[in-house]
Amino acid sequence: MLEQRVGAPSPRVSLHAHRLLRTLAPKERYLRATRKLLESPDPGTVRLAVRVLSFGGDVESVGAIAERLLHPHAAVTRAAREGLLALGAEAIAGLERARGKLRPDRREPIDAVLAEIRERADGR
């Protein structure tokens, strides 16, 4: 029931259900429910979802997080960048898939994150 409420139109209901899931559900179910929050019209909710998914190690969400690098709100794009960098080398394959789906003129943010991840992996 809580997982259904995470997708509720009311941000208040949605976030309350999300908080309850954090303590009551296994990590995989919690992260799966968190993915629904990425579609929220509220930038604060999207930022929260990006941080939970990335710092929770959800590699399956890399493509969806990469899409948020193009979000109109700076806080969301900053959270997406930080989250992808936190995932590190595990995010490379997902980022490359996401990059391939974008028009060439929209690939720069993903290219920058990929370059920084690779630099960190090389120890520079």
Q: What is the pLDDT of residues 1-53, one digit of tens each?
A: 677 777 767 777 777 777 777 887 788 888 888 899 899 999 999 999 999 99
In this prediction the pTM is 0.86
pLDDT at 22: 80
Into how many domains does the chain fold? 1
**Where in the sequence is the domain holding 109, given as residue range(s)?**
57-124
Any domain includes 86? yes
Asked if the structure places residue 65 within a domain, the reply is yes
**Is there a domain that residue 16 lies in?**
no
| In-domain check, residue 27 | no
Q: What are the pLDDT digits (tens) for 70-91?
A: 999 999 999 999 999 999 999 9
Residue 69: Cβ-neighbour burial (10 angstroms; 0-12, 13-18, 19+): buried
The SS3 of residue 100 is: helix
In the prediction, which pLDDT does 8 show?
67
Q: Is residue 20 a part of any domain in this protein? A: no
Q: Is the residue at 83 inside a domain?
A: yes
| Residue 44 counted as domain residue | no
29: tokens are 């179910």
The rounded mean pLDDT for the chain is 89
Non-local (6+) Cβ contacts of 12 within 8 A are: none
- Does 17 map to a domain? no
